[in-house]
Amino acid sequence: MTGRDMSYAAVMGRKNEIMKKAIGIDYQTFESGGLAFDYERMMREASYSLEEIQQIQYSTGVGNTPILELANLTALARKFAPAGKGARIFIKDEACNPSGSFKARRAANAVYHAKKHGYKGVVTATSGNYGAAVASQCAMRGLKCIVVQECYDSRMIGQPEILEKQRACEAYGAEVVQLTVGPELFYTFLSLLEETGYFNASLYTPFGIAGVETLGYELVTQFREKLGRAPEKVVITHAGGGNVTGTARGLLKAGATGTEVVGASVDLSGLHMASDKDFNRKSFTTGHTGFGIPFATWPDRADVPRNAARPLRYLDRYLLVKQGEVFYITEALAVLEGLERGPAGNTSLTAAFALAQTMDRDHFIVVQETEYTGAGKHPLPQISFAKQNGIEILFGDPDTEVPGKNIVFPDSPERIRLRDFDLAKARTSYIRNSVTQAKRESISKEDLAFLAAETKSDENFVLGVLKELNVSVK
């Protein structure tokens, strides 16, 4: 490292070189020279088979988590549903994994790969659950672990949920590099990878995404064994897109082609995720629109050259919920079902509670993950912290909630509503971002087919968007 330019510009300029060494994937192998790249070939050749991943995960106690029926929440939903409506609500209890979340599936695969290829340790940049999962897996496999985490605003004040995740990472033996919010996260991450020679346990590698495929596959297998068929709908908390992508791919590998994939995010519109001012004015650190929408409409903003998480390839519907609604359902899950679980899974549970009321009573709807809860992740410290930051706490109609100004708890369960985010708008934004980032005035037929697959649309839809952008197909 002696004599190497470690300025921000120089390190960022070496990012592809650093990433190639730290991941061991030559992403150019899968490039076509245009917008397109061979996504399925990348997933197939740069990772492991489903059967191999199952064995990797089972060797460290990951996976085989139970399906639980939420009979009391189902009964509550039916009180507000039209006659004959009110699907049975289930959860897949991923809190049973060693580190308490589905992220253990991603981490098990990544850490196994790092050990197999001779890396002495791993580095990951994460808000926390994944960091804890990586640290847990590293402890099991005898590797060093560094977690780079945005913990604080410029006043060095940290949100309770983030500090709880920091505690969890350190409890498993990781070194946590704590940063204030801002652009230094990626720079610090790259610098550590270069300095240590450790593996990049990114959330967005093929290893990480393929690790989640076992979740979707297990889910379908368990439903068929217990209830005779796959569920009609699977609701997945959507942030960076890996949860949606991996689970949906697992559903397809299990042959559940008729199961609808529904994403859910907390509506934090109006708050900027990289803003020091807004950092502590939100009560959710993941599973919100600040990640969900940007990563859907431009996934390659990630810390790898080609993100293996491509949520628009798989989403059939995308629902938004309010902060107050999620806190309400979190308490309802504990009081009615005897299950204390953390905020991310309860985001999709909130959407499922409203969505179940539109479905037939003999249908199944499943929330595909839960996570552990802890001191900082519990609603009470989050609400207290919000009040300390000038957020008004109200009861009433959650549709009056303004992120960063108030949190509105529903004054009745019937106030929890469905709010669709327009996927056509997201698909249009993705196509626009693709041609804009590449500075293209024309694209190939291969690129056209790629964009149709990327947006789960068809070539006519893509051509319509390209026409508005004055981009031709040659």
Percentage of the chain exceeding pLDDT 90: 83
Q: In sequence order, what are the beta bridge partners of 319? A: 264, 420
The whole-number pLDDT of residue 164 equals 92
Alpha helix segments (H runs only) across 142-241: 160-171, 184-196, 206-227
Query: Could you give the CA distance from residue 364 to residue 358 in angstroms, rounded to a whole number?
Result: 12
Write the pLDDT tens digit of every residue in 215-244: 999 999 999 999 999 999 999 999 999 999
Structure tokens at 26: 């030559």
Q: What is the CA radius of gyration of the chain?
A: 22
Collect all residues with Cβ–Cβ distance below 8 Å to 411 and sequence separation of at least 6.
395, 396, 397
Query: What is each CA distance from 273 to 139, 150, 182, 295, 312, in whole angstroms?
Result: 31, 11, 9, 12, 21
Q: Is residue 253 predicted with pLDDT exceeding 70?
A: yes
- pLDDT category of residue 1 using cuts at 50, 70 and 90: low
Write the pLDDT tens digit of every residue in 93-120: 999 999 999 999 999 999 999 999 999 9
How buried is 458 (Cβ within 10 angstroms: 0-12 exposed, 13-18 middle, 19+ buried)?
exposed
Tell me which amino acid residue 235 is: V
Tell me which amino acid residue 17 is: E
The whole-number pLDDT of residue 16 equals 82
DSSP 38-62: -HHHHHHHSS--HHHHHHHHHTTT-
Query: Could you give the CA distance from residue 304 to residue 442 in angstroms, rounded to a whole number?
Result: 26
Within 10 A of 245 (CB to CB), how many other CB atoms are there?
31
The whole-number pLDDT of residue 33 equals 81
Write the pLDDT tens digit of every residue in 369-406: 999 998 889 999 999 999 999 999 999 999 999 999 99
With CA atoms as reference, report the closest residue to 37 among 332, 45, 398. 45
Percentage of the chain exceeding pLDDT 70: 99
Write the pLDDT tens digit of every residue in 190-206: 999 999 999 999 999 99
Collect all residues with Cβ–Cβ distance below 8 Å to 331 and sequence separation of at least 6.
379
- Average pLDDT in the 49-69 region? 97
pTM: 0.96
Helices vs strands, H then E, count in the chain: 18, 14
Query: Could you give the CA distance from residue 296 to residue 39 in angstroms, rounded to a whole number?
Result: 16
Q: Give the range among 72-81, 177-186, 297-306 with minimum mean pLDDT.
A: 177-186
Write the pLDDT tens digit of every residue in 28-39: 899 988 899 999
- Average pLDDT in the 281-305 region? 92
Helix H or strand E segment including 17: helix 15-23
Which strand ranges, in their side-by-side order, compose the sheet holding 199-200?
Answer: 175-180, 144-152, 121-125, 199-200
Within 10 A of 390 (CB to CB), how many other CB atoms are there?
10
The whole-number pLDDT of residue 182 equals 79
The whole-number pLDDT of residue 184 equals 82
Please answer whether residues 67 and 223 qualify as being in contact, where contact means their C-beta atoms are separated by less than 8 angstroms: yes
Within 10 A of 60 (CB to CB), how many other CB atoms are there?
19
Q: Is residue 274 predicted with pLDDT exceeding 90?
A: no
The whole-number pLDDT of residue 2 equals 57
